């Protein structure tokens, strides 16, 4: 070990004498874990999370242990208060962390349950640094972006590497090179690569190749300038992935190769794909998996037998994408429909269920702010089933209730999620139980019949978000119900939650006596979490967000049931399984 590295190792926390400030967790072994850094140039929205998760999957298939992390530049502590119109879906992890939707991409692609250790924001980093400064952890030094803030980022990554035991940590930096809030993240990655030494890191730059219709040819200048900006920050990319609407030409790849000092075989075309689940195969065709292994000197850790088995299973799944023989329309009746990313997990869960059942899902977007009793039949005329998704606030609520009433009375397959569960209870209370003024205190704070309300024990918790039920919770399943059959006759099932309003327990008996079945509840508490209707082709709702735990090879049962019921409605003469039979069939495929 060099004198410089000896010094670096010795200053695991702080030193007033050395400029080699780099916090290192106790027990961290340099060289055990390698790092792949994924950055974007030219524009945001290139699919860094998709690329990173697909590359990580290829490494995982080879028997390597991977750990992803997303670094976000915004100052929010988490994503919980972000408006879906601005930032897409808020994805909730099992430990309750509210985070970026890319974490959902990682969980689905890698079939992993992630935690708050896999997500950080500038707000988290700065808060940690300032808390340490107040506690005197920096020994009187002036606290600066370099080395203290960048040091905190490196500490976060090394701690994840050590705690996860990963062979490779995949680090995705949100936004784009050139964003002011990302500059210190990129500097931290440069420092980490320098400190970890040769063969420790691999930098991947995603860029965008323009193809103006008026010119009729691809233009690489914007990509060249974006990569130049990255190199000016001291980062030499090892791989460049060129995003484009059509395959990137050899000429363009050569230009970028010359401009960036990256061998042309590591400048790859990553054109638009019909399904993100086909991207791993594209990366394999470009031999990106073996390029990364060579760059990180990891060839001796791979398990080819494991790779053959895992890849064969994945190919069986992707082959079914092009073998769909049925087509059903599912209506998503929400209020954020102009931003499709607001419902990313629902879209993916429907795709998983459709692929498993051999059915292409055609999603119809229905804005519930434009729906009422007079036009609901026309709005839902062309769909075979509907989903009322989660949401907050009053806007569009009555439109959702109109959709649910139509689905209940016309045998239209229905799945309610979170807010959709609450609206289903209100619809039933009003139109079946005769509680004409039934409402939620979220919609009408002083309503006479508060069927949906914040429970008393939750009201004691003050502060926005403080009374939110977040993360994974066990649900006790009532025996001999459809839910019990759907979940394999298990006594309980685990789902993820993000809500603060519940069914008021004093109305439960009246609702049940009129035919509403609460087939899932919180253990030891009168908190209703799944409902269903008998004598209906498919009418389910849950206070949870089942879409968050759907996986490509393990579709979520409630979505499988919905798609199966929609197929039977669309193809009444075909010999198709009912919802429960379909769920059992899909389990055998997995």
Contact 521, 528 (CB under 8 A): yes
Q: What is the pLDDT of residue 25?
A: 93
pLDDT at 338: 72
Residue 17 pLDDT grade (very low, low, confident, very high; cuts 50, 70, 90): low
Q: Which helix (H) or strand (E) holds 184?
A: helix 183-196
Let me know if the fold of 26-316 is the same as that of 324-589.
yes
* Cα angle: 355, vertex 357, 358; to 5 degrees: 65
Neighbouring C-beta atoms of residue 261, cutoff 10 Å = 11
Q: How far apart are CA 125 and CA 156, in angstroms?
A: 9
Query: What gap in Å lies between CA 345 and CA 84, rounded to an integer?
Result: 13
Q: Which of 570, 546, 411, 442 minimizes the C-alpha distance to 487?
A: 546
Q: What confidence score (pLDDT) does residue 170 get?
A: 98
Query: Does the pLDDT at position 306 exceed 70?
Result: yes
Over 50: is that where the pLDDT of 538 sits? yes
CATH 3.40.50.300 is held by the domain 324-589: no
Max CA separation in the chain (angstroms)? 81
> Is the pLDDT confidence value at 20 over 80?
no
Q: Distances from the Cα of 412 to the Cαs of 249, 333, 356, 368, in angstroms?
A: 49, 13, 22, 17
DSSP-derived 3-state class of residue 513 = helix
Closest of 208, 182, 196, 275 to residue 43, by C-alpha: 208
273 alpha carbon, distance to own chain's centre: 19
| Average pLDDT value for residue range 107-112 | 97
pLDDT for the residue numbered 462: 46
Burial status of residue 192 (CB atoms within 10 A of its CB: 0-12, 13-18, 19 or more):
buried
Question: pLDDT digit string (tens) for 553-569?
Answer: 999 999 999 999 999 99
Residue 118 CB partners (closer than 8 Å, separation 6+): 67, 68, 69, 70, 93, 103, 106, 160
* Domains of the chain, residue spans: 26-316, 324-589
Q: How many other CB atoms are found less than 10 A from the CB of residue 572? A: 8
Model confidence at 340, pLDDT cuts 50, 70, 90, reads confident
pLDDT greater than 80 at residue 13: no
Confidence category of residue 346, pLDDT binned at 50, 70, 90: very high
Burial of 345 (0-12, 13-18, 19+ CB in 10 A): buried
End-to-end CA gap in the chain: 49
C-alpha to C-alpha distance for 246 and 256, rounded to whole angstroms: 17
pLDDT tens-place string over residues 71-105: 999 999 988 888 776 777 899 999 999 999 999 99
216 confidence band (pLDDT: 50, 70, 90): confident
pLDDT of 426-479, one tens digit each? 999 999 999 999 999 999 999 999 999 986 666 655 444 446 789 999 999 999
- Tell me the CATH class for 26-316: alpha beta
If DSSP codes are grouped into helix, strand and coil, which group holds residue 100? Answer: coil
Return mean pLDDT, the chain: 91
Q: Is the dihedral of CA 446, 451, 452, 453 positive or negative?
A: positive
Spatial distance between the Cα atoms of 33 and 66, rounded to a whole number of angstroms = 9
- pLDDT for the residue 213: 85
Alpha-carbon gap, residue 205 to 361, rounded angstroms = 33
- 435, 406 contact by CB (below 8 A): no
Count CB-CB contacts under 10 A for residue 317. 16
pLDDT for res 464: 44
Residue 107: exposed, middle, or buried by beta-carbon count in 10 A (0-12, 13-18, 19+)? buried
pLDDT-derived band of residue 204, with 50, 70 and 90 as boundaries?
very high
Q: Omega of the bond prior to 454 within 30 degrees of 0, cis?
A: no
Q: Which of 229, 225, 230, 256 is nearest to 241 (CA)?
A: 256
**Res. 9 pLDDT band, cuts 50 70 90:** very low
Q: Mean pLDDT lowest for which of 33-37, 285-289, 452-456?
A: 452-456
pLDDT of residue 8: 41
pLDDT at 4 over 50: no
Q: Which residue in 458, 433, 438 sits closest to 448, CA to CA?
A: 438
Instruction: Give the pLDDT score at 459.
Output: 62
């Amino acid at each position: 070990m060099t004198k410089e590295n000896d010094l670096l190792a010795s200053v695991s926390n702080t030193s007033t004498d050395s400029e080699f400030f780099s916090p290192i967790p106790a027990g961290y072994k340099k060289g055990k874990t390698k790092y792949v850094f994924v950055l974007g140039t030219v524009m945001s929205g290139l699919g860094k999370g998709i690329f990173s998760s697909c590359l990580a999957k290829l490494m995982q298939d080879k028997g390597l242990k991977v750990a992803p992390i997303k670094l976000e530049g915004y100052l929010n502590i988490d994503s919980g208060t972000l408006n879906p119109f601005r930032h897409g879906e808020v994805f909730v992890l099992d430990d309750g962390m509210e985070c970026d939707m890319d974490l959902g991409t990682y969980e689905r692609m890698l079939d992993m349950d992630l935690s708050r250790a896999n997500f950080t924001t500038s707000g988290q980093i700065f808060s940690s640094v300032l808390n340490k400064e107040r506690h005197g952890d920096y020994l009187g030094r002036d606290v600066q972006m370099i080395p203290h803030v960048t040091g905190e980022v490196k500490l976060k990554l090394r701690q994840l590497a050590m705690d996860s035991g990963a062979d490779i940590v995949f680090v995705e930096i949100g936004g784009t090179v050139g964003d002011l809030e990302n500059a210190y993240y990129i500097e931290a990655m440069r420092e980490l690569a320098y400190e970890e030494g040769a063969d420790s890191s691999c930098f991947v730059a995603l860029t965008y190749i323009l193809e103006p219709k008026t010119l009729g040819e691809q233009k690489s200048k914007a990509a060249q300038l974006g990569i130049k900006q990255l190199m000016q920050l001291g980062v030499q990319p090892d791989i460049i992935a060129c995003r484009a609407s059509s395959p990137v030409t050899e000429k363009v790849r050569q230009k970028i190769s010359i401009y960036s000092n990256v061998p042309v075989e590591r400048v790859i075309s990553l054109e638009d794909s019909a399904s993100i689940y086909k991207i791993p195969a594209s990366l394999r065709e470009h031999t990106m998996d073996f390029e990364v292994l060579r760059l990180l000197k990891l060839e001796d850790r791979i398990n080819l037998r494991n790779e053959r088995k895992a890849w064969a299973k994945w190919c069986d799944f992707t082959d079914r994408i092009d073998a769909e023989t049925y087509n059903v329309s599912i209506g998503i009746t929400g209020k954020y429909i102009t931003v499709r990313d607001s419902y990313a997990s629902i879209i993916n869960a429907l795709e998983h269920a459709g692929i498993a059942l051999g059915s292409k899902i055609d999603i119809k977007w229905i804005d519930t702010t434009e729906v009422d009793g007079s036009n609901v039949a026309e709005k839902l005329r062309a769909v075979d089933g509907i989903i009322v998704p989660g949401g907050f606030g009053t806007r569009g609520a009555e439109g959702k209730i109109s959709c649910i009433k139509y689905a209940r009375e016309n045998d239209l397959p229905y799945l309610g999620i979170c807010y959709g569960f609450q609206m289903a209870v209100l619809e039933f209370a009003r139109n079946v139980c005769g509680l004409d003024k039934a409402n939620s205190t979220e919609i009408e704070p002083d309503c006479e019949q508060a069927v949906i309300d914040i429970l008393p024990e939750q009201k004691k918790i003050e502060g926005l978000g403080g009374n939110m039920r977040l993360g994974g919770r066990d649900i006790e399943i009532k025996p001999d119900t459809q839910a019990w059959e759907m979940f394999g006759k298990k006594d309980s099932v685990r789902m993820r939650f993000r809500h603060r309003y519940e069914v008021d327990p004093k109305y439960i008996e009246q609702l049940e006596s009129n035919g509403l079945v609460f087939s899932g509840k919180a253990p030891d508490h009168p908190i209703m979490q799944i409902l269903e209707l008998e004598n209906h082709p498919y009418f389910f709702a849950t206070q949870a967000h089942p879409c968050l735990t759907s996986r490509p090879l393990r579709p979520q049962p409630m979505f499988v049931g919905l798609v199966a019921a929609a197929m039977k409605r669309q193809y009444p003469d075909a010999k198709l399984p009912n919802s429960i039979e379909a769920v059992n069939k899909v389990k055998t495929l997995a």
